[in-house]
């Protein structure tokens, strides 16, 4: 039993990999549960929604690396998400670049942007840092809306051309299964990277910065470069999410990839799942996107108009319901879903797991 508890996370992770990896091969009809227009597991609509769940889960996980582990409240992750979407889209559609060079350009632009803007924003702390990142994000939103040199398409957005893409990726409808696996692979790779970083000495320094940055200064460890590293990694993951988004949806529109509401949604995903827990951000993001799409589906059902007003009115406003759920979680479920499950598990277990290393022991280990 102790061994099972010790490797419980690994077992759940392996099961999730197998189940979600094989899901596109399952033709199972599940009425009133699936978010797609057709209640079949491997239908085009369901797989597209699940691909969006995986994509946003990866972006939320990257944001959690900066917010949950390092304690940096940024309101600008949407800038890098939009940059990834638009740079990749422009390279493939406007300049007719092949897939690999377009990906390399997107990664390079994301890293350079994050290094420059992060170095500026991290000169301040707290709410000032949040406001500076928000200002950068808003400036980028207006930039792509103004359609510079006719590159971004302005308000109407830029549809992705699939002429230079591999045949496995050309066509969001005909290759939904492949795009589903790409989004799932993005989440798996992101989780592996975040796990490796947070379990390393660098990850321990991230947590130490979150808990008491001044103590690191006293010990001779300069937090700035570690905060910048966390910022850049998070931004690069967000840019990767932007690329996956364009592949799955087939277009980049400012209101969908660059609006401040996207940042707020990512923040809500992390808080709902539990900041600083890795898998909490994944579960929170998938639940948020799933509910968002499912509630839209419910409001479009023919029987919806016959519901009592007390149900019909709130169900017709999915964002209102998600906002209400968020408020309830903040008030009554501290620590999000991860905190709730942790407390329930602690009550069931006779022997509690060993707590994570505190900041004192982390710093002591670093000094050695």
The Cα diameter of the chain in Å comes to 69
- Quick one: pLDDT at residue 77? 94
The sign one gets for the Cα dihedral 68, 71, 72, 75 is: positive
Beta bridge partners of 252: 158
Q: What is the rounded CA–CA span in Å between residue 288 and residue 325? A: 10
Residues recorded for the chain: 368
**Which pairing describes strands 251-252 and 158-159: parallel, antiparallel, or unpaired?**
antiparallel
Q: What is the rounded CA–CA span in Å between residue 191 and residue 170? A: 27
Structure tokens that stand for 340 in this block: 């709730």
- Quick one: pLDDT at residue 219? 81
- Quick one: pLDDT at residue 102? 96
Q: What is the rounded CA–CA span in Å between residue 15 and residue 243? A: 27
User: In which region does residue 335 sit, left (phi positive, over 0), alpha (psi from -120 to 50) or beta (all else)?
Assistant: left
- Quick one: pLDDT at residue 291? 87
Give yes or no for a contact between 206 and 48, defined as CB atoms under 8 angstroms apart: no
- Quick one: pLDDT at residue 269? 92
- Quick one: pLDDT at residue 355? 39
- Quick one: pLDDT at residue 348? 59
- Give the SS3 label for residue 226: helix
Structure tokens that stand for 238 in this block: 């967000």
- Quick one: pLDDT at residue 213? 86
Q: pLDDT in tens for each of the 368 residues of the chain?
A: 455 556 667 778 888 888 889 888 888 888 777 776 777 888 888 899 999 999 999 999 999 999 999 999 999 999 999 999 999 999 999 999 999 999 999 999 999 999 999 999 999 998 999 999 999 999 999 999 999 999 999 999 999 988 888 888 776 566 889 999 999 999 999 999 999 999 999 999 999 999 988 888 788 788 999 999 999 999 999 999 999 999 999 999 999 999 999 999 999 999 999 888 888 899 999 999 998 888 777 766 666 677 777 777 777 777 777 888 888 887 888 778 877 777 776 665 544 444 344 334 433 444 44
Nearest to 99 by CA among 160, 152, 180: 160
What is the fold of 2-349?
ABC transporter involved in vitamin B12 uptake, BtuC (1.10.3470)
Q: What is the rounded CA–CA span in Å between residue 359 and residue 167? A: 50
């Amino acid at each position: 039993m102790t061994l099972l508890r010790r490797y419980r996370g690994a077992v759940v992770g392996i099961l999730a990999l197998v189940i979600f990896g094989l899901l596109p091969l399952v033709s199972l009809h599940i009425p009133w549960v699936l978010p797609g227009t057709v209640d079949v597991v491997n239908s085009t609509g369901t797989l597209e929604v699940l691909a969006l769940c995986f994509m946003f889960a990866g972006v939320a996980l990257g944001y959690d690396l900066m917010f949950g582990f390092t304690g940096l409240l940024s309101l600008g992750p949407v800038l890098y998400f939009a940059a990834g979407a638009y740079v990749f889209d422009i390279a493939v559609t406007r300049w007719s670049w092949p897939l690999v060079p377009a990906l390399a350009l997107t990664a390079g632009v994301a890293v350079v942007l994050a290094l420059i803007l992060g170095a500026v924003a991290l000169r301040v702390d707290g709410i000032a840092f949040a406001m500076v990142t928000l200002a950068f994000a808003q400036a980028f939103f207006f930039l792509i809306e103004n359609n510079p040199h006719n590159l971004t398409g302005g308000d109407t957005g830029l549809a992705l051309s699939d002429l230079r893409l591999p045949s496995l990726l050309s066509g969001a409808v005909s290759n939904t299964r492949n795009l589903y696996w790409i989004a799932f692979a993005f989440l798996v790779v992101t989780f592996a990277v975040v796990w490796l970083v947070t379990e390393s000495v660098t990850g321990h320094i991230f947590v130490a910065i979150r808990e008491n940055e001044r103590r690191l200064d006293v010990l001779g460890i300069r937090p700035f470069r570690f905060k910048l590293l966390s910022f850049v990694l998070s931004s690069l993951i967000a840019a990767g999410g932007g690329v996956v988004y364009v592949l799955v949806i087939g277009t980049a529109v400012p209101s969908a990839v660059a609006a401040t509401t996207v940042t707020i949604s990512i923040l809500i995903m992390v808080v709902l799942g539990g900041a600083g827990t890795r898998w909490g951000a994944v579960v929170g993001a998938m639940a948020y996107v799933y509910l968002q799409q499912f509630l839209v589906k419910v409001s479009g059902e023919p029987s919806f108009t016959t519901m009592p007003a007390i149900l019909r009115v709130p169900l017709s406003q999915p964002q209102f319901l998600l906002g209400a759920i968020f408020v309830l979680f903040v008030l009554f479920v501290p620590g999000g879903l991860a905190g709730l499950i942790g407390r329930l598990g602690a009550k069931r277990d006779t022997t509690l797991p060993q707590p994570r290393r505190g900041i004192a022991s982390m710093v002591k280990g670093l000094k050695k």
